[in-house]
Structures are given as C-alpha cells and as structure tokens.
C-alpha cells in the first residue's frame, strides 16, 4: 500500500490513534526526598496523562519528614506517621480508622483519558518499642474494602524495610473492577497504627518510603470513537476522489 495515496488528514488521525493506545506508566511516585515542604509530600512521576496530588494527613495523623537514624531505603528521608497528641490511644487498625490516623493522595486522569490501575508498591518499617504497628490501604472507589493490610509490621526498627505488598513485590490492582477505566479522581488512603502513645515526638511511629502506583492509560471510548469517525470520513473522501 502506498501511503502517498492517502491525504495527510488520514495519516495524522492514524498517528493520533497510535499515540493514544494503551500503555502502562507510573502515575504516582512518592520518594520523600525533597528537603522542603510541601515538595517533600509531592509525586515525582513524569506522566502527562494524569495528575498526582500532594500527600495530605488525615484528621488524626501527624506527618513528619524523618531524616534521623538509618534514613531512607532510597534517598535522604522518609515519611514518618504519628497519631495526633489529642488521641489517647491507637492500639490497632480499627482505632486508626476510627481516629483517621492516615495519609492520602488523589490521582486524576486528564480530560479524554482513563486510568486502569495495575499495581501498588511501597516500603514500610516500624520504630522501636514493643507495641504493635500496622497499616491498611483503601481507595475512594472501593470504600471500606481493604486493598491490602498488615496488622503487625515486623521487628523493631532497623535499616531493613518491608514491602507493603505481596511476596512478588507488587500489589496487583488489575483485578479490582472498581479501579479499571477510571475517568475521574480516585483517592488512595493508608491508615496507620503507629502504636500506643504515638504522638510526635514520641518514639512510636511508622516510616514509609518509595510509594508508587502504576496504571494503563487509554483514551476514553468517546475519544476513540471520534478519532475512528474522522478516519472513516477521510477514507470516504479518498474513495470519492478515486
């Protein structure tokens, strides 16, 4: 087939369709390496098809930039989560949810795009002291259903982080129907049980690092249909000219 026989409009639309095809990208990448606020709580992803918000604290949480002790798994600092001083006790994850000891971020696809989430990754470690620590992950589209949880983070704090995910290294989100073909904002929330008496600056907290979310970016069906319609019109124009 000789492409010169086709008008430039056909070639242009075909290129647009090719560019809009599905591809997996990192849509959120929280490394916590900046020395300044609020950049410290921002995503370093480079995806142009979505916007990742700054991380925000729940009503019962205090977020701190941890730079002391064995620092980060990959960089210069970590996110440390404490419960607010107004909270007397957070003994388990149910307490953490009740008191909103959490942090959240929101991912919003650009107009004409949808996100089908594929994976979540993150690292976690606990501080010293004997009380139990834990975390759980939820989203605004899945409600109170836990996407993942660990009610008892490993041993006392060390330089070794645990993955927040399955043994494969990533939490698979591709099978979560509510997180596929998302055309609007979705908020991910991580509730944290930092241990009893864990208000800043106590020694009871939970560290997080290298939190990433990946998704497949595709054009919305209406956008694809419109582009296909333009291709059809262009092909019809070519036939008439013949």
Q: Which pLDDT value is given to residue 52?
A: 98
* Nearest-angstrom CA–CA distance, 205 and 200: 8
pTM of the model: 0.81
Q: What percentage of the chain carries pLDDT values higher than 90?
A: 46
Residue 73 lies in a domain: yes
Q: Which pLDDT value is given to residue 157?
A: 59
Residue 223: which residues within 8 A CB-CB, separation 6 or more?
A: 20, 112
How many of the other CB atoms lie within 10 Å of CB of 112? Answer: 14
Give the model confidence (pLDDT) of 31-59 as tens digits. Answer: 998 777 678 899 999 999 999 999 999 99
Q: How many domains does the chain have?
A: 1
Give the model confidence (pLDDT) of 167-216 as tens digits. Answer: 556 899 999 999 999 999 999 999 999 887 655 556 678 999 999 999 99
The gap from C-alpha 76 to its chain's centroid, in whole angstroms, comes to 21
Residue 44 lies in a domain: yes
Residue 79 lies in a domain: yes
Measured CA distances, 90 to 122, 143, 195, 206, 216 (Å): 23, 22, 6, 13, 37
pLDDT at residue 232 greater than cutoff 60: no
Residue 10 lies in a domain: no
Residue 206 belongs to domain with CATH number = 2.60.120.260
Half-sphere exposure of residue 122: CA atoms within 13 angstroms, side-chain side: 25
Residue 194 lies in a domain: yes
Residue 16 lies in a domain: no
* Nearest-angstrom CA–CA distance, 67 and 79: 9
- What domain range includes position 86? 22-220
Rg (CA), the chain: 23
Residue 13 lies in a domain: no
């Amino acid at each position: 087939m000789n492409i010169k026989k086709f008008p430039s409009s056909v070639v242009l639309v075909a290129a647009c369709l090719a560019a809009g095809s599905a591809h997996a990208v990192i849509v959120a990448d929280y490394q916590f390496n900046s020395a300044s606020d609020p950049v410290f709580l921002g995503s370093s992803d480079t995806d142009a098809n979505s916007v990742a918000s700054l991380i925000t604290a729940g009503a019962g949480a205090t977020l701190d930039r941890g730079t002391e002790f064995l620092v980060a798994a990959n960089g210069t600092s970590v996110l440390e989560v404490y419960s607010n001083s107004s909270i007397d006790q957070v003994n388990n994850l149910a307490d953490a949810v009740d008191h909103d000891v959490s942090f959240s971020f929101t991912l919003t696809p650009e107009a004409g795009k949808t996100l089908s989430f594929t994976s979540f990754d993150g690292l976690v470690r606990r501080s010293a002291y004997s009380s139990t620590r834990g975390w759980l992950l939820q989203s605004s589209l899945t409600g109170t259903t836990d996407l993942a949880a660990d009610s008892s983070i490993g041993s006392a704090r060390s330089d070794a982080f645990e993955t927040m995910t399955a043994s494969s290294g990533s939490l698979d989100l591709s099978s979560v129907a509510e997180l596929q073909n998302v055309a609007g904002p979705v908020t991910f929330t991580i509730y944290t049980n930092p241990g009893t008496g864990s208000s800043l600056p106590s020694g009871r907290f939970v560290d997080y690092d290298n939190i990433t979310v990946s998704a497949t970016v595709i054009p919305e069906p209406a956008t694809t249909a419109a582009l296909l319609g333009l291709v059809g019109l262009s092909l019809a124009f070519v036939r008439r000219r013949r």
